[in-house]
Structure 1
Amino acid sequence: MARLLADASPRRDKRCDGRPKQREIAMNSIIYIVGLIVVVLFVLSFLGLR
């Protein structure tokens, strides 16, 4: 059971300072922007403006 919980935890960067990698920051930004676009399109379609 403990091994399953350990495997489910997010993997950390090999560095000890705990900062995310540059690639991880870029991916998070892309996901955030795509999410915002989806929400805006949903609101516009709900209001009948699209």
Structure 2
Amino acid sequence: MNIMFQKTNQRMFGTFPLKGDTLRAAIAAAIDAGYRAFDTAQAYGN
């Protein structure tokens, strides 16, 4: 199997404006909705 040619449907959830309880609730909802990739960065401060 050559994984370089496999198609995937991947949605990424961005976390930039979120913090605290809002962030936790949004990530939980995103996981429930099927998201498996999350855009995070130390610069976001969350």
Structure with bigger helix share is: 1
Tell me the TM-score range normalised by the shorter chain. 0.3 to 0.5
Query: Normalising to structure 1: TM-score of the pair?
Result: 0.31
Tell which has more relative contact order, 1 or 2 (C-alpha 8 A, sep 6+): 2
The structure with the largest alpha-carbon Rg is: 1
Structure with bigger strand share is: 2
Query: Normalising to structure 2: TM-score of the pair?
Result: 0.33
